[in-house]
Amino acid sequence: MGSFSGQSSGSCDLSFKILLIGDSSVGKSSMLLSFISASAEDLAPTIGVDFKVKLLSVGGKRLKLTIWDTAGQEKFRTLTSSYYRGSQGIILVYDVTRRDTFTNLTDVWAKEVELYSTNQDCVKILVGNKVDMFQDSERAVSREEGIALAKELGSIFLECSAKTRKNVEQCFEELALKIMETPSLLEEGSAVGKRNILKQKPEQAPPGGACCS
Amino acid sequence: MLTEQKPLMRALRRSHTSSSQSTSSSSSSSSNTSSSSSSSWIHLRSVLLVVASSSSSSSSSSSSQQIPTDRGSLKSPWSHRRRKHALLPKQWKNLFTADGKLIDGGVKFLKKIRSGGVDPSIRAEVWPFLLGIYDFNSSKEERDSLRSQKRKEYERLRKRCRQILKRTEKSVKLKGTAGNVCNEDNECFSQVFDSPGLEDVVSGRKSHSTEGGSPVFDDSDHRICDHSHPSSLSSDSFLEGEVDKRVVISQDACTGETESSDSDSSEEDENTPLLSSEIIEENDIHKDDNDSSSPSQIEGRSATPTDEDFATWRRIILLDAVRANDDWIIYSPSQASVSTMEARRLAESVGLKDYDDLEPCRIFHAARLVSILEAYALYDPEIGYCQGMSDLLSPIISVVEDDSEAFWCFAGFMKRARHNFRLDEVGIRRQLNIVSKIIKCKDNHLYRHLEKLQAEDCFFVYRMVIVLFRRELNFEQTLCLWEVMWADQAAIRAGIARSAWGRMRLRAPPTDDLLLYAIAACVLQRRKLIIEKYSSMDEIMRECNSMAGHLDVWKLLDDAHDLVVNLHDKI
């Protein structure tokens, strides 16, 4: 498991909780690692849940994103379900080279969100990962299908590659922007942000400049 | 921090003076800040230990009175000073009698491993004993025959895997849809155990379980019993009495309520898995049957998996196999140097295709993972495959080069670990509960802090429980921990815990839950950080999930040992 790279605290204006879900091996952890530390490596399957924190600036605000990474296998689902609670954003990930991971978003994951997400306004983004893979494998889900499903789910849509980092940052940033445009979520985020500031201690910037400016 | 620690320190000082005769040697250092330095902890722990043993009214008091003058023997076998060498090849050879039986019923064997692990060069030979495949009293002849019997059984499982795969591929072709692998052939399995629930199947196994060798008692049983009868087993392990432990166990087992299926299912004897062979025959007969599946198959509880279950497991197995950790490579030169051709051939034989640009040895490793995990899913369909299991198998196949032997080692390992992977989460929750209890007993201050953060369920150590420190420790360290843990479990299984350990003067009696003590120890090592710095469960989880590379397995075992000494009769 990767080390914790973005530091948990440091002053920020807003703090949001984001959840990554989707089938096993679609690249949730890789997306997160790619976003946090700009590295791309093969990762062992996630057991249970894990999370990372990233500080960044979006729309002139300093954000703290706590991104929860979950195990994809069904067996862990009852366990991970509690992590839907209180999240302002949910990233639904599929693998563009494996069709079943796409159909499971409708069959399984969207239902999970419905069932467990306590936040009516919670922003969703649909992400097709592994667009770098087309020389090895066929594309199994077209871009148009992705867009159509996103429309159905009322979510944003993006295709990305955790490996090349293409669109990875955009995924998180667009999600954050949309959350900030939603008044109820913005309020939740600033309440948490303030609370954090109160107990904040001065802290050194994390190496590699992953921190907000 | 200091203020927060005061009550604890005061309590310790109190106990200190109350057992003055024994503590003179450690009193000066114990007034240091407790958690900040490990050395002072060791002293404090020995104080606690003395208190614990001197307050016990049992007949063991005679030996505990001598503690102050005999501190060497008090130290845990894993403490820095006392750390022994691993079991060496020469010692291993000398542990056998002329007809190939382990001397003194395996006591010396286990003692050695318990204090230092096993030398890497003999692991593949030793593990089948540790993991309950071979009885300690078996002769070489018996083991040879068992080995070939087991090999056949493994091959039958593999054959079934291939048959299912073939059927599934055929039906996919017929239907032309990749997503839907459910087909008419599914039902042929449900025929076998249509209505009987798991219990029936289990009792079927049980009735055969005593046929060969001594019965094997499931370890979870002990824990349950310890739970409901705190005084029944472990508390008197210091006693020298030779009462047959099995009698105690079975009595207690009768009173344990809901867990019967657990304990029984692991009670199957080495020779058994009758279930599997029965199914094979049935399959062959009913291959083309077309009946509807039983309701018990829904929710993955089926005694026999459907083709769809199998396809689901297989899909995830294939994905996990290619992303297995590769830190085994330097420890397994023969497998590391496997040729590209051999690796590809094996991959093809198990239908592993998506290995991209993996090196040959990793392809080879992945293919072996696939074949054994598939076979296991059929062998134990209640569990099937769950992520995390590949973490447990990978080190085993790195050490054991023969697939059949690796499979049975894995199956032996899983007798305990399988409960963690149950869909109803009973197993994992029970384990987390025990960790929580250990922390509560040892360090109430920390426990109260956890309560405040609503983290007293110890969910933050979830991953450590599931994959037994595989993600936190490196390859070699993981194996050391597992070997010590297996030795403890083997001692209990063989019933030599009670009779032999007192003589051996290893103060901590063997426990089935050494892992949980180690996990608790590793949380306790961070008590200061947790109490002072962390204000949410999330932060503790982050700490626990990023321990990789920061743990010392022998220190961990040393601390775990102290917890066992002090708490084993309370947990």
In this prediction the ipTM stands at 0.83
- What local confidence, expressed as pLDDT, does residue B338 receive? 95
Q: Which amino acid is at B355?
A: Y
Cα–Cα distance measured from residue B219 to residue A117, given in angstroms and rounded to the nearest whole number: 39
Interchain CB contacts (distance < 8 Å): A and B: 77
Chain A residue numbers touching B325 (CB-CB < 8 A)? 44
- What local confidence, expressed as pLDDT, does residue A198 receive? 47
Question: What residues are paired with B102 via a beta bridge?
Answer: B96
CB contact under 8 A, B423 and A75: yes
CB contact under 8 A, A47 and B467: yes
Chain A residue numbers touching B362 (CB-CB < 8 A)? none
Place B82 in a pLDDT band, splitting at 50, 70 and 90. Answer: low
| Closest Cβ–Cβ partner in A44, A72, A199 for B323 | A44
Report the candidate in A37, A73, A76, A29 with the shortest Cα–Cα distance to residue A54: A37
Q: Is A44 on the interface with B (CB under 8 A)?
A: yes
Q: Is B541 on the interface with A (CB under 8 A)?
A: yes
Is the pLDDT at B17 greater than 60? The verdict is no
Q: Is A43 on the interface with B (CB under 8 A)?
A: yes
Q: Is A45 on the interface with B (CB under 8 A)?
A: yes
- What local confidence, expressed as pLDDT, does residue A12 receive? 85
| Closest Cβ–Cβ partner in B322, B462, B538 for A51 | B538
DSSP-derived letter for residue A19 is E
- What local confidence, expressed as pLDDT, does residue B83 receive? 62
- What local confidence, expressed as pLDDT, does residue A196 receive? 52
CB contact under 8 A, B466 and A43: no
Position with higher pLDDT, B22 vs B531: B531
- What local confidence, expressed as pLDDT, does residue B33 receive? 37
Chain B residue numbers touching A199 (CB-CB < 8 A)? 535
- What local confidence, expressed as pLDDT, does residue B172 receive? 77
B455 φ/ψ angles, rounded to the nearest 5 degrees: -115, 15
CB contact under 8 A, B425 and A79: yes
DSSP-derived letter for residue A20 is E
Chain B residue with the nearest C-alpha to that of A75: B423
CB contact under 8 A, A103 and B179: yes
Best mutation site among B172, B315, B316 for testing chain A: the one with the most A CBs within 10 Å? B316
| Candidate from B243-252, B339-348, B433-442, B556-565 with smallest mean pLDDT | B243-252
CB contact under 8 A, A199 and B535: yes
Q: Is A8 on the interface with B (CB under 8 A)?
A: yes
Chain A residue numbers touching B544 (CB-CB < 8 A)? none
Determine how many CB atoms are found less than 10 A away from the CB of residue A140.
Answer: 17
CB contact under 8 A, A3 and B539: no
CB contact under 8 A, A100 and B423: no
**In Å, how far is A45's CA from the nearest CA of chain B?**
7
Span A150-176, average pLDDT: 96
A165 φ/ψ angles, rounded to the nearest 5 degrees: 75, 5
Q: Is A144 on the interface with B (CB under 8 A)?
A: no
| Closest Cβ–Cβ partner in A47, A136, A199 for B463 | A47
Q: Left (φ > 0), alpha (ψ -120 to 50) or beta: where does A200 sit?
A: beta
Chain A residue numbers touching B425 (CB-CB < 8 A)? 78-79
Q: Left (φ > 0), alpha (ψ -120 to 50) or beta: where does B300 sit?
A: left
The separation between the first and the last C-alpha atoms of chain B, rounded to the nearest angstrom, is 28
Cα–Cα distance measured from residue B235 to residue B512, given in angstroms and rounded to the nearest whole number: 14
Chain B residue numbers touching A47 (CB-CB < 8 A)? 387-388, 391, 462-463, 466-467, 471
Helix orientation angle between B219-228 and B475-493, rounded to the nearest 10 degrees: 70
- What local confidence, expressed as pLDDT, does residue B304 receive? 79
Q: Is A24 on the interface with B (CB under 8 A)?
A: yes
Q: What is the mean pLDDT of chain A?
A: 85
Q: Using an 8 Å Cβ cutoff, are B262 and B198 in contact?
A: no
Q: Is B536 on the interface with A (CB under 8 A)?
A: no
Chain A residue numbers touching B316 (CB-CB < 8 A)? 24-25, 73
Cα–Cα distance measured from residue B127 to residue B115, given in angstroms and rounded to the nearest whole number: 16
- What local confidence, expressed as pLDDT, does residue B85 receive? 86
Cα–Cα distance measured from residue B220 to residue B229, given in angstroms and rounded to the nearest whole number: 14
Q: Is A108 on the interface with B (CB under 8 A)?
A: no
Catalogue all structural domains in chain A, each as residue range(s) with its CATH number: 12-186 (3.40.50.300)
Chain B residue numbers touching A3 (CB-CB < 8 A)? 546, 548
**In Å, how far is B375's CA from the nearest CA of chain A?**
19
**In Å, how far is B377's CA from the nearest CA of chain A?**
14
- What local confidence, expressed as pLDDT, does residue A120 receive? 86
Cβ burial B286-322 (10 Å sphere, 16+ → b, else e) = beeeeeebbebbeebbbbbbbbbbbbbbbbbbbbbbb
Chain A residue numbers touching B391 (CB-CB < 8 A)? 44, 47
Best mutation site among B385, B545, B547 for testing chain A: the one with the most A CBs within 10 Å? B545
pLDDT tens per residue across span B60-70: 333 333 333 33
CB contact under 8 A, A44 and B316: no
**In Å, how far is B457's CA from the nearest CA of chain A?**
13
Sign of the four-CA dihedral A22, A206, B519, B524: negative
Q: Using an 8 Å Cβ cutoff, are B209 and B215 in contact?
A: yes
- What local confidence, expressed as pLDDT, does residue B76 receive? 63
CA count, 13 A, side-chain hemisphere, B259: 23
Q: Hunting for tokens 């190939």 — which residue is that?
A: B100
B54 φ/ψ angles, rounded to the nearest 5 degrees: -75, -25
**In Å, how far is B319's CA from the nearest CA of chain A?**
7
Is the pLDDT at B431 greater than 50? The verdict is yes
Q: What is the mean pLDDT of chain B?
A: 72
Q: Is B11 on the interface with A (CB under 8 A)?
A: no
Chain A residue with the nearest C-alpha to that of B548: A1
Strands A49-58, A14-21: parallel, antiparallel or unpaired by DSSP?
A: unpaired
CB contact under 8 A, A137 and B354: yes
| Closest Cβ–Cβ partner in A24, A47, A48 for B319 | A24
Position with higher pLDDT, B42 vs B414: B414
Q: Using an 8 Å Cβ cutoff, are A174 and A125 in contact?
A: yes
Q: Is B532 on the interface with A (CB under 8 A)?
A: no
Chain B residue with the nearest C-alpha to that of A103: B179
**In Å, how far is A199's CA from the nearest CA of chain B?**
10
CB contact under 8 A, A1 and B548: yes
Position with higher pLDDT, A90 vs B262: A90
pLDDT tens per residue across span A71-80: 988 777 777 7
Question: Can you tell me whether residue B549 is helix, strand or coil?
Answer: coil
CB contact under 8 A, B463 and A48: yes
Predicted TM-score of the model (pTM): 0.72
Place B385 in a pLDDT band, splitting at 50, 70 and 90. Answer: very high
Question: Can you tell me whether residue B235 is helix, strand or coil?
Answer: helix
Place A85 in a pLDDT band, splitting at 50, 70 and 90. Answer: confident
Cα–Cα distance measured from residue A200 to residue A183, given in angstroms and rounded to the nearest whole number: 25
Is the pLDDT at B392 greater than 50? The verdict is yes
- What local confidence, expressed as pLDDT, does residue A82 receive? 81
Residues 6+ apart with CB under 8 A from B271: B146, B149, B211, B212, B213
Chain B residue numbers touching A24 (CB-CB < 8 A)? 316, 319-320, 387
pLDDT tens per residue across span B475-530: 999 999 999 999 999 999 988 766 555 554 556 788 999 999 999 999 999 999 99
